Amino acid sequence: MMKIRIEITLCLLLFLVLAPFCICSGERLLVGMTLVRKATAHGAVCLDGSLPAYHLHRGFGAGSNNWILQFEGGGWCNDISSCLERAKTRRGSTRYMSKLEVFSGILSNNASLNPDFYNWNRVKLRYCDGASFSGDSKFDNGTSLLYFRGQRIWEAIIHDLLPKGLSRARKALLSGCSAGGLATFLHCHNFTKMLPSNASVKCLSDAGFFLDERDISLNYSMRSFYHDLVALQGIEQNLNPNCTRSTSNPKLCFFPQYALNYISTPYFILNSAYDVFQFHHSLVPPSADLHGHWNRCKFDPAACSAYQISVLQGLRRDMLVALYPSYKNSRRDGMFINSCFAHCQSESQDTWFAVDSPRIHNKTIAEAVGDWYFGRKITKEIDCPYPCDKTCHNLIPSPQGAKCNLISITGFTEIDYSFSSKNKFFSIHHIC
């Protein structure tokens, strides 16, 4: 009798412990990690030498031969010290990564939440090289060792997926967020060449259209950062050769606005005209605002002065100017440029496709991307200037996040943001 009671008690305790997890996992799609075991033989390893990885959730039904590959984002490291620090985190090593990833937004398998891509094979490529999957170099001074092997990681993951069905793809979409969105510009062309010639292949960048922009002190902060990154990680050899041959400064081809001109694959650009990362770390980096005159504006756009608003409108104008050739001349390309203070909008369900999702001309991001991919409509949505859009889900950094400098934030620092929607505020954890 005592034994039965103990067993019942243990079962109840087990139920109480596991019940919350079961309820939570029942609401979310959790996908396990796959390590690329053969990668080491090709030198395709993370910063610390660990194996690269991805998460694959199989498609079904009519989508069983269609594929989405989503590059994970997470900034960059452009010097040895920041890369060494990064190698000790999940941004530089699969040893520290979560082994389960939540698939939501464009990666959801729920037709009501992701109507056009829910039944496709969906893959998330984990990011551990610090250079948007593009470097091919190594640092070894006898004491410290770093592998800059993003290009090889990209190729190793593709070769691991080809026999799993990618080689038979009928439709494919290469996408990514932030640094992962930039990676799509670097790999869109060769992704197309790796798939069947009769496949419909397109590319999508979410919050990856980083501008070659002067900051408020008239310095090219991001250009300097990217130049150091390209030099450190041996990226130039992997940039689009048509782009690098066309300029006296080949490193500029790391910027999407220059690379896009040489991409023939249909492209969709999803970006906020007031992208939070670019606002805080390209336009107004801490090095250009030593006295914190922009702090209130950064925390609350409504607190910006008339002059500061004019500077922000200049950022929007420069983005639209950079996109104008694609907007005017290309019928195959699409875009959704909203006027929100946001960064990455395709992976979160609330911004991808929900009742109160951001909209332009009453069209959600998911609807715009779907119309473009399947050719239902020409989709080139440009929002009106701030503050006209009342559908935005704005990200506002916390004071803790504001203390990060450019290198630490782009290198490996995770940032806490407050989320504002419909006059409601709550905290989320966000990665640049």
Residues involved in catalysis = 178, 275, 343
Inside any domain, residue 9: no
Total residues found in the chain within this entry: 432
Inside any domain, residue 12: no
User: CA 99, 62, 35 angle in degrees (round to 5)?
Assistant: 20
pLDDT at site 3: 43
Domain carrying residue 280: 28-382
CB-count exposure of residue 126 (10 Å: 0-12, 13-18, 19+): buried
Which residue from 163, 154, 101, 106 is spatially nearest to 128, judged by alpha carbons?
154
Is the separation of the CB atoms in 432 and 178 below 8 Å?
yes
Computed from CA positions of residues 339, 342, 343, 347, in that sequence, does the dihedral angle turn out positive or negative?
A: negative
Which residue from 141, 122, 156 is spatially nearest to 46, judged by alpha carbons?
156
pLDDT at site 105: 98
Inside any domain, residue 315: yes
pLDDT at site 27: 75
What whole-number distance in Å separates Cα of residue 251 and Cα of residue 273? 24
Inside any domain, residue 164: yes
AA identity, residue 12 = L
Q: In what order do the strands lie in the sheet with 334-338?
A: 100-103, 29-35, 53-57, 121-125, 66-71, 171-177, 200-206, 267-272, 334-338, 380-382
Report the domain count for the chain: 1
What whole-number distance in Å separates Cα of residue 281 and Cα of residue 288? 10
AA identity, residue 131 = A
Inside any domain, residue 402: no
Q: Helices 179-194 and 150-161 meet at what angle, rounded to 10?
A: 50
Inside any domain, residue 2: no
pLDDT in tens for each of the 432 residues of the chain? 444 444 444 443 333 333 333 323 447 999 999 999 999 999 999 999 999 999 999 999 999 999 999 999 999 999 999 999 999 999 999 999 999 999 999 999 999 999 999 999 999 999 999 999 999 999 999 999 999 999 999 999 999 999 999 999 999 999 999 999 999 999 999 999 999 999 999 999 999 999 999 999 999 999 999 999 999 999 999 999 999 999 999 999 999 999 999 999 999 999 999 999 999 999 999 999 999 999 999 999 999 999 999 999 999 999 999 999 999 988 899 999 999 999 999 999 999 999 999 999 999 999 999 999 999 998 999 999 999 999 999 986 544 433 333 333 333 233 333 333 333 322 233 333
DSSP-based three-state secondary structure for 268: strand
Inside any domain, residue 401: no
Is the separation of the CB atoms in 354 and 111 below 8 Å?
no
pLDDT at site 397: 52
What whole-number distance in Å separates Cα of residue 203 and Cα of residue 187? 9
Is the separation of the CB atoms in 34 and 55 below 8 Å?
yes
Kindly report the CATH number assigned to the domain that includes residue 310: 3.40.50.1820
AA identity, residue 379 = T
Peptide bond into 387 cis (omega under 30): yes
pLDDT at site 388: 93
